[in-house]
A and B are shown apart, each in its own frame.
Chain A
């Protein structure tokens, strides 16, 4: 286990170094503008799989947590001109509180009731923000970027690097959960919740923990989006497309190991960016929907299952 940990952290450091190098060498902003979205989806998909993949609770509230992350950032920016790091941490806090609330309210429900309840929460939160004039209401709010730090030439490049760091944080957290008692407990309750309870697994506490961590990380991933677009409105920030995209990416990648959502996010994210640029943003959603249906019907274990990269899921690996 320790050898693979060293390998993981070396890889992470190399990744961040490479990202930083890219921001210094490539001049054009657009690859970073597009790449940010892909990194963001990696963060969201991996964070989602903590609850959705390991525990098996299909959480449709991703858009709620993402929107809460965006609007926490908006609120702090407008009220206190808070720096980006503060926005992200605050968003994570807000996300964890929301995760706790959502968990307490809905985790006693099973299957589709849980999923529908999470959609309900997402819409209610969206409607509340729509009625909140201070952050712009349904019309939205324009945001000004502060001047960028000395290390980076442009704000977009800096956000790209920040999102890369968040990706490392999220993957490290998920990896830690996967390899720990928490992860094994979650997998046990996913297989058979009743049996798990009978053998002493504290199912409710585990589910709540997963919900809180998952929520915090999704909201943290959403916080930089406010300054990335320099505009926020409830319809975009709370868009149900986030929920479906993230669900699709995780299921398509395969939920047994944290690499699955990463693969799914990169594959679908890159396809989306290419399609949006060359054809239209609609065809992009169509591809998402069709891929999701195809994989769910034909390849239930996702790409990981197809590639048979992993042995039976009970054994943990880096």
Chain B
């Protein structure tokens, strides 16, 4: 049975190599993560990573954390849920990282929640939606402005209701993010007494939406709430452009990921007009905090060289904020112990470039800061237009509002 013994020897040799590698003193603090650098989420993943890298360079320039340099260990998860469990097992057992960041996005993050909980590791989330709702990991801190689960859908549906909308259509991708959001939308609709006349899910690989949009139109909804990922978001808008949605639709959009990436916005151009979609950061005066302006100046320079999203509004500042938060925790508690850091993060308000962050029991922000904005007057093939105000008019929340909804949707498209 030679081959079986050989395998045993191979395993022993691997172990020896690992043990030898781990001896060096004064090694850097390793923060491990996977990031979608290819696949549907890559447009956002690369920007997010650049934000984190800028933070790492800033921190190292000031001497690092606890006197040690910070090193990022990053793998490409291809925006897929199948790669992340193996990647995070590797980060923990082969790369032996000290801290973990989650990948950008719900779909790559959901699979690693049980693993991270079982290993007792702190996990800083990067824009996932409700991935902790079933696992209940007490060391999960999501860096995303969604806040309480219902707030996202409430914001959008309330806008629709105010414009006179009475019935709702729900179109969602069959994946973790969209399904989590769709279920909150159904709850909110019930609470608002709004009948759902169309409720369909499509497989994530769907590339052609004319049939689905046709069926949606036949139901004659007033409000259309879409939860989709970047490739489908673009395909849905193209189908809407080809076939139209009917004059009774007051408001269209809601949770279409991808329409915040600069490359997609440039590509879609005037197809965006009229769509009301979520965002997290827009160049409005109320959104600037300590260090925000400096961050964007650094980002703008490096983004061009790195061939990454030139605007960087959506994700990059949050990547920087993730770093700020963990740095504050490590420096104040002077420890890398997961439980100690978790306690600190839970009990304090954190000042970051995206504003003050406070966490609730489930690891989400106590207060929601999700924006809903309507695209207006967008021209084709022009990325710079988005730097000026007025192209994405903030409709919600009221404290950040810069305009009112233009409806019906077909009218706003022109």
Contact = CB atoms under 8 A, between A and B. Distances in A.
When A and B assemble into the complex, do they touch directly, with CB atoms less than 8 Å apart? yes
A229 B11 CA distance: 21
B111 A38 contact: no
A69 to B, nearest CB: 17
B86 interface: yes
A231 B93 contact: no
B113 interface: yes
B14 interface: yes
A161 B83 CA distance: 24
A233 B107 CA distance: 11
Interface string A139-154: 1101111000000000
A236 B81 contact: yes
Interface in B1-48: 1, 3-5, 7-8, 10-12, 14-15, 18
A22 interface: yes
A137 B179 contact: yes
B111 A229 contact: yes
Interface string A43-80: 00000000000000000000000000000000000000
Given A28-B93, A30-B90, A30-B94, A140 B81 contact: yes
Contacts of B93: 28-30, 33
Contacts of B67: none
B89 A30 contact: yes
B82 interface: yes
A137 B179 CA distance: 10
Given A30-B93, A142-B135, A276 B8 contact: no
A26 interface: yes
A266 B7 contact: yes
B90 A277 contact: yes
A235 interface: yes
Contacts of B201: 137-138
A139 B1 CA distance: 43
A96 to B, nearest CB: 27
B397 interface: no
Interface stretch (A10-18, A197-205, A307-315): A10-18
Interface in A139-197: 139-140, 142-145, 155
B176 A140 contact: yes
Given A137-B174, A142-B135, A281-B83, A31 B1 contact: no
B1 A230 contact: no
B111 A130 contact: no
A35 B92 CA distance: 16
Contacts of B14: 30-31
A263 interface: yes
A143 B112 CA distance: 10
Interface string B218-261: 00000000000000000000000000000000000000000000
B139 interface: no
B110 interface: yes
B286 interface: no
Contacts of B81: 140, 231, 233, 235-236
Interface residues of A, number: 39
A138 B203 contact: yes
Nearest to B135: A142
A256 interface: no
Contact of B203 (A22, A27, A29, A130): A130
A262 interface: yes
Contacts of B117: 144
B176 A18 contact: no
Interface in B335-377: none
B364 to A, nearest CB: 17
A239 B93 CA distance: 26
Contacts of A266: 3, 7
B175 interface: yes
Contacts of B94: 30, 277
Given A15-B1, A31-B15, A231 B110 contact: yes
A226 B204 CA distance: 22
B269 interface: no
A15 B4 contact: yes
A224 to B, nearest CB: 14
A276 B78 CA distance: 13
Contact of B85 (A144, A229, A277): A229
B134 interface: yes
B7 A142 contact: no
A14 B15 CA distance: 22
B1 A231 contact: no
Interface string A30-42: 1101010010000
Contacts of A270: 7, 10
Interface string A218-253: 000000000001110101100100000000000000
Nearest to B133: A142
Interface string B123-144: 0000000000011000000000
A139 B3 CA distance: 39
Contacts of B287: none
B96 to A, nearest CB: 9
B118 interface: yes
A236 B82 contact: yes
A38 B7 contact: yes
A142 B179 CA distance: 14
A231 B109 CA distance: 11
B174 A262 contact: no
B306 interface: no
A229 B89 CA distance: 10
A31 B90 CA distance: 10
A26 B11 CA distance: 9
Contact of A231 (B4, B90, B114, B179): B114
A281 B10 CA distance: 21
Interface of B: 1, 3-5, 7-8, 10-12, 14-15, 18, 76, 81-83, 85-86, 89-90, 92-94, 110-115, 117-118, 134-135, 174-176, 178-179, 201, 203-204
Interface of A: 11, 14-15, 18, 22, 26-31, 33, 35, 38, 130, 137-140, 142-145, 155, 229-231, 233, 235-236, 239, 262-263, 266, 270, 276-277, 280-281
5 tightest CB-CB pairs across the interface, nearest first?
Answer: A138-B174, A231-B111, A30-B93, A230-B114, A236-B82
19 contacts: A15-B1, A18-B5, A26-B12, A30-B90, A30-B93, A33-B86, A33-B89, A137-B201, A138-B203, A139-B110, A139-B179, A143-B114, A144-B117, A230-B85, A230-B118, A231-B111, A231-B112, A233-B81, A235-B81
